[in-house]
Chain A
Amino acid sequence: DAKTTQPPSMDCAEGRAANLPCNHSTISGNEYVYWYRQIHSQGPQYIIHGLKNNETNEMASLIITEDRKSSTLILPHATLRDTAVYYCIVGGGADGLTFGKGTHLIIQP
């Protein structure tokens, strides 16, 4: 079973920030938090990952709570092309990824 809990779906208006939550209350000290997304009919795409500190790259920001039991992926200015299933995954890094059901994010025009 996946170690994360995500809402099954979310809507966001185009141009707004999309904030995707993830609970991972059983995460262990050496496990990373990864975010991937899958646009329809494509392979999953890496977005960002972090261990303890907040992270930012050209695609998104990752906010991890101090107790590391939850995190939020932020897409600062969502576009229609950001419509996808977003997966929050915890893992040690060397292993394969265990995907849950993810959050289906729909960006509304």
Chain B
Amino acid sequence: DAGVIQSPRHEVTEMGQEVTLRCKPISGHDYLFWYRQTMMRGLELLIYFNNNVPIDDSGMPEDRFSAKMPNASFSTLKIQPSEPRDSAVYFCASSFMTGKSQYFGPGTRLLVL
């Protein structure tokens, strides 16, 4: 398996633009997680899905952030409009069943100017 795939790997955009981050989980995994990492706040859970259904989105910073999982093999995290404070590395992870390990993607490095 190729592991968790994220795209793009790097994104540079201007404040106010819409940003869409993409994730393909490992085939067969039924949990998908979105995390954000910054120097100031470390790694934070934003939202997670089970069987394509959002379970906990309490970590989503504000209404500018939204996440979808239209099918078992694809998820998006959208920021609209983007702001400089959204600059971070965004990781997607997937896992199979409860109590099991999460496998992280390589991350998307987002810079909002």
Interface residues of A (CB under 8 A from B): 32, 34, 42-46, 49, 51, 87, 92-101
- Interface size class, chain B: 20 to 34
Q: How many A-B residue contacts, CB cutoff 8 Å?
A: 52
B-side residues, CB < 8 A to A, are 4, 31, 33, 35, 42-45, 48, 50, 56, 59, 91, 93, 98-107
A44 and B103 CA atoms in complex are apart in Å by: 8
Contact of B101 among A42, A43, A49, A96 (CB under 8 A): A49
Whole-angstrom CA separation of A94 from B64 in the bound complex: 26
Task: Kindly list chain A residues whose C-beta atoms are within 8 Å of the C-beta of B43.
Answer: 44, 87, 97, 99
- A45–B100 Cα distance when bound, in Å, is 13
Contacts of A92 in B (CB 8 A): 98-99
Q: Which of B4, B45, B56, B102 has the most CB of A within 10 A?
A: B102
- Nearest to B105 among chain A residues (CB) is A43
Top 10 A-B pairs ranked by shortest CB distance? A93-B99, A43-B104, A96-B45, A46-B101, A99-B43, A94-B98, A93-B98, A96-B48, A44-B104, A96-B33
